[in-house]
Amino acid sequence: MSESRLSAADGPEPDLTGRVLGNFRLLRRLGQGAMAEVYLAEQASLQRLVAVKVLKGRFSNDPVSVARFQREARAAAALVHPNIVQIYEVGCVDGIHFIAQEYVQGENLRQWLARHGPPDVEQGLSILKQAASALAKAAEHEVVHRDIKPENILISRSGEVKVADFGLARILSQPEGVGLTQAGMTLGTPLYMSPEQLEGKALDCRSDIYSLGVTCYQMFSGQAPFTGETVLSLAFQHLHKEPRPLESLCPHLPVALCRVVHKMLAKSLPQRYSSPRELLADLEKVQAHLRGGDASVEAPIAETGEAEAPSESLEELSQRVSKVIRQVSRGRTTAARWILGIAWAVGILGALAGGFWAGWQARQHPGLLADTPPPGIMIPQQESALRQWFYAAQLNTEEAWQSVLEYFPEKPYLVFRAKQQLARIYLREGRYAEAMKIFEECALLGEPESEMQAYGLAGQCSIYTLQGQYREAAALLVQLWPIRHQLKDRQMQQLLGHVVQKIRSELGRATAQEWETWLREKFSQQE
């Protein structure tokens, strides 16, 4: 397709909302990419919502573009897997080429990170494992995605990961024509391209592993391993420069997990993981060590082989953590240092329990994070408070966390942690009144100078700031200042960083100067 033809046809794409393409009525436009636009649509025959990808008009008469568009559908349709966006139908109506596919209610990884910040270890492992499971399925069918990046990793509301957009995918057993190969070599996102992809060499599943490694490095650290203003600069770094050690940017990560990410980023193909299955085996080993409660121990990273079994059973883990919870709830007088000393065992209960449950689920349903009950089904009561927590961490929905409060109100520490999760959900959804109720309760019911009181005050301060009530927020900062070191929630610390900046800009620098100094010191210690 010539440049003149492109420019002549270039311009805003018409809004197709309301059009019927075969069995699908387009409801509204969701977004667009370089070659296609995506619409939310209703499939009339099954009365379900789907996503319909429509090839842009200026490409519809170009044989190469149409072939690439149809190739995406063929490649993805062959991959039936819980962690891959499913293809329902491919068609052309009145010259409009479209692909109807699964509609994922959620956001892509880039949007998720912008909203939540870097995930904790268990969340990150879950995202990485599910994406790797999708690549493993693709590798079994000799399909290379060739454009793995945060925008193409979708996270549903239930926490399930879906790899999308096989627009550049190539089926290795079906050689492409010259036109497709040449066009494909210039496509992709240079920030995430493998060295061999940038050099135009033949690709296999190891290229997708490299791109996933770049994505994970950015997910955990908040920055890409390489940055540059030009494609040439990025290409040179991917080919010749080693990334900064991930553990130096994220000291909270297990060393073994950092080693996994760097092995994914190996420039030499023999030094990189040979397959997604090999990557998954090492991720299982890292997760097994986390479930054992010692995230600082280096997990043995095997060259090949299956993951080791967990070091302790679910029942043993339940008994060990329950013992710690009982000791905390009795209010033993070994003072705040002792309580903070066991905070790792108890404070990360959500991540620990969720990881154990997710690991078990993954073995029962490979590639799945959670089998979410259908809407309207009540969350079932589990046989113990800890198992209820496991179930809630698995689903991570409002109803699931409410079930901890309803079924086990006599477990104060678990109730507090469940309310933290509920407050996060309410904040994310803009339900400030409900979030404020939880924060006020934590501030009032928590022991003086406790983590609960600090969390409650910080939450109230954040909501006042979001609502433009800066003087009320500043007054709460004054109350929070003497017990600031009790605030352990990292996401709340990050939110407060924005709060302080906003208050300073609205009320003057002196109002929040001490808080700004403390937050700077706090974050500099974590880097």
Catalytic center residues:
147
Strands 143-144 and 170-171: antiparallel
Cα 407 to Cα 219: distance, rounded to the nearest angstrom: 35
For residue 1, with 0-12 CB atoms within 10 Å meaning exposed, 13-18 middle and 19 or more buried, which class applies?
middle
Identify the CA nearest to 212 among candidates 277, 165, 147.
147
Which tokens hold the place of 5? 């033809």
Angle at 275 between CA 274 and CA 278, to 5 degrees: 95
Which run of H or of E encompasses 39? strand 36-43
Question: In angstroms, how far is the first alpha carbon of the chain from the final one?
Answer: 49
C-alpha distances in Å from residue 248, one per residue of 136, 217, 243, 335, 525: 30, 12, 11, 33, 12
Q: In what order do the strands lie in the sheet with 36-43?
A: 20-21, 24-32, 36-43, 48-55, 96-102, 87-93
Q: Which residues pair with 54 in a beta bridge?
A: 37, 98
Cα 204 to Cα 348: distance, rounded to the nearest angstrom: 38
CA-based R_g, the chain, Å: 25
> DSSP class of residue 84?
B
Cα 226 to Cα 233: distance, rounded to the nearest angstrom: 9
Other CB atoms within 10 Å distance of the CB of residue 444: 10
Which tokens hold the place of 247? 């553990």
Other CB atoms within 10 Å distance of the CB of residue 298: 13
For residue 264, with 0-12 CB atoms within 10 Å meaning exposed, 13-18 middle and 19 or more buried, which class applies?
buried
Other CB atoms within 10 Å distance of the CB of residue 307: 18
231 touches 282 (CB < 8 A): no
Helix (H, G, I), strand (E, B) or coil at 92: strand
Cα 279 to Cα 187: distance, rounded to the nearest angstrom: 26
Residue-wise DSSP of 457-524: HHHHHHHHHHTT-HHHHHHHHHHHGGGGGG---HHHHHHHHHHHHHHHHHH-GGGGHHHHHHHHHHHH
